[in-house]
A and B are shown apart, each in its own frame.
Chain A
Amino acid sequence: MTSSLRLRAGLVSIVLLVAFLGIWHLAVRSTAPVATMSPEYAKLMGLTATQGKSAMPGPFDVGAKLWEHLQRPFYDNGPNDKGLGIQLAYSIARVGTGYLLAVLVAIPLGFLIGTSPLLSKALDPFIQVLKPISPLAWMPLALYTIKDSSISAIFVIFICSIWPMLLNTVFGVASVRKEWINVARTLEVGTLRRAFTVILPAAAPTILTGMRISIGIAWLVIVAAEMLVGGTGIGYFVWNEWNNLSITNVIIAILLIGIVGMLLDQILARFTRMVTFPE
């Protein structure tokens, strides 16, 4: 029964995809009336103007271009023109660094705040104010103080991924069932041992959920940050192609950003499943 459900869902997915591509293909067919112009003039003009070609590329244009990129994902034509593979690697490295730094700060800090009601109350107003700030709003400040654009981008990733992890850790640690802590206490387990053997496993699913939210946000933000600072990365690629008004390449980048984002999310989801426990 489940396998037939999966089969049917797959079929529906494919039908939706084909319908989407079909509508897309039809929608961007050249429809605009073509003005008559002298051949000399036409030679100086783009296809949009001469053949009434839509400014939006069709699925076949995108497919062909994607194939071209996949043929050579790691080329390097100097500092401003690198293959998609290299650009993605740069972005993933930035996200990875900023994210790991955030993990290193958020989880111990969350642990501390979660176990101490005093700290929790004292720090709460700060966290509440800092949390809703759009990460990109930090960018000018980061550029100004850090004076290095790639470190600034990492800082922005750090600052945006820290909050969900911190709050989830606090919440997870604070809501460990009292009975378990009391049992540990009656058995005279030391503080450190209690933290690692009782609280951490109990709070792990909540913490991992926070980490999963964070990686999603970090990946969202890196694209925007790289568009701002330029240089390398998939966000820079989008900006560079936008500069050339190459919508085809922008669509390809969007597709790749989606796929990488999904993969990152899936990895974290797998980790979450590993630490969940039945109550």
Chain B
Amino acid sequence: MSTFDNPFDPDRKLQAGCACGQHQTAAEHEQATALRCDPVESEEKRYESVVASAVMRAMFPQDAARRAFLKSVGASTALAALSQFFPLQTATEVFAQTGTPEKKDLKVGFIPITCATPIIMAAPLGFYAKHGLNVEVVKTAGWAVIRDKTINKEYDAAHMLAPMPIAISLGLGANAIPFAVPAIENINGQGIVLATKHKDKRDPKDWKGLKFAIPFDYSMHNYLLRYYLAEHGLDPDTDVQLRSVPPPEMVANLRADNIDGFLAPDNICQRAIYDGVGFMHLLSKEIWDGHPCCSFAASREFITTAPNSFAALTRAIVDATAYASKAENRKQIAEAIAPANYINAPVTVLEQVLTGTYADGLGGVKTDAKRVDFDPFPWQSFAVWMLTQMKRWGQIKGDVDYKAVAEQVYLATDTRKLMTEMGLTPPAGSYKSFAVMGRNFDPAKPEDYLASFKIRKAS
């Protein structure tokens, strides 16, 4: 089902093919149109359409009958007729009543990179306020600090790398404290940048002995870079040096020749190009198109003590993510998040990242509208994949109950319910298979997947 599935559309294809007719299967279509959510002018409007859709579906359970009815009278007449004998207004009001937040003044931590776009933009563009919250977004110095401050309850929720809540819940590199992820911040949007002097060394097989920086050990960046190197026959633990370096220091280190390259979050990649110190070797999307990067995370404790605040926060984030997923809003967003209070970076750099028309550092201008994209649904299969990589590189020892951990940390079920209430159409399943560099990943068989890698840390 596509997110913008409209039951008032008589021409929507029902089974074979997809809704728009341009794709072979509904799944493909879904991928192409994933979350093209329209920003709805007002919350009432959205609820109204949700309620109307539900009523329409209930009255005509048969698709064929509904279509015949719509064809004969037209959508607007049908809606008018519906509201004649069904109290749509009242139903909408009842539906829109969500619990009042237990706590209205919240603090949300973020790291100043474009991955945090939905979290940051929700403040200046008013998404938090729209959902009845007064949120202060606080810039934080690094991943370890954001982790500690969230654990210490200085922040109610925070921007974290997608694997971090899993690591915290498992007690890797910190005390085990149950955390949960209601929404993924961004998909794609990272890149491998090399120093300009390596511009003729484009084949990873020549990279033996080079020094690379990654932002944090428990990061998609770490796993993706290791994966990429290993697929090219390099053992990331012995053939190259990987260093954890805070993103802003990466550009300075690249300029100073301390590192040869990095797989880093964006605006840092583009910043290195902007300052003329490196070039874009590869977008992370070319390793795995649609990979998650950062997440929106909160502790279980916060979720149980303030469930309504948490739900409102998640709604605001999902709403902002939906807005950010639309290409035409990206320029406005770049301007909103560039000031010193937020990301603190040149607008040109952010625009290049968000619009996908960017200088590649070698004299060319490239365009890839999906360089970074936004899709909040926390697929549990993402969590399973991360767990396989944690195990592959020795961060987890022994047996892992992949499914249990994924379901405990990635709240796909709750988010699905919330998105349905908001009038979006989230995917029906919580697991999907995907391909990373052409290698298929089946979330049902993580151990087989893990066993298929030749290069891994000996356990």
Contacts and interface: CB of A to CB of B under 8 A. Distances in A.
Contact of B139 (A44, A80, A242): A80
Contacts of B358: 44
B340 A240 contact: yes
Contacts of B271: 245
B148 interface: yes
Given A40-B365, A44-B365, A240-B340, A80 B154 contact: no
B275 A240 contact: no
A37 interface: yes
Contacts of B357: 44
Given A48-B276, A79-B341, A80-B341, A149 B154 contact: yes
A240 B344 contact: yes
A186 B274 CA distance: 80
Given A81-B339, A227-B141, A149 B365 contact: no
A38 B339 CA distance: 28
Contact of A147 (B139, B140, B152, B252): B152
Interface stretch (B287-295, B313-321, B345-353, B380-388): B345-353
A45 B137 contact: no
A243 B365 contact: no
Contacts, number: 101
A41 B359 contact: yes
A45 B340 contact: no
B340 A80 contact: yes
Interface in A112-163: 140, 143-144, 147-149
A79 B249 CA distance: 23
Size category of the binding interface on chain B: 35 or more
Given A78-B341, A147-B152, A49 B276 contact: yes
Size category of the binding interface on chain A: 35 or more
Nearest to A144: B148
Nearest to A76: B341
Interface stretch (A17-25, A228-236, A257-265): A228-236
Given A41-B359, A45-B273, A243 B145 contact: no
Interface in B303-360: 339-342, 344-346, 348, 352, 357-359
A82 B275 CA distance: 26
A115 B141 CA distance: 45
A143 B148 contact: yes
Most buried by B among A55, A80, A239, A244: A80
Contacts of B352: 44
A71 interface: no
Given A45-B273, A239-B141, A147 B153 contact: yes
Most buried by A among B251, B357, B358, B359: B359
B363 interface: yes
B112 interface: yes
Interface in A12-37: 35, 37
A149 to B, nearest CB: 6
Given A45-B273, A81-B339, A240-B340, 5 more contacts: A41-B364, A49-B275, A80-B342, A81-B341, A244-B340
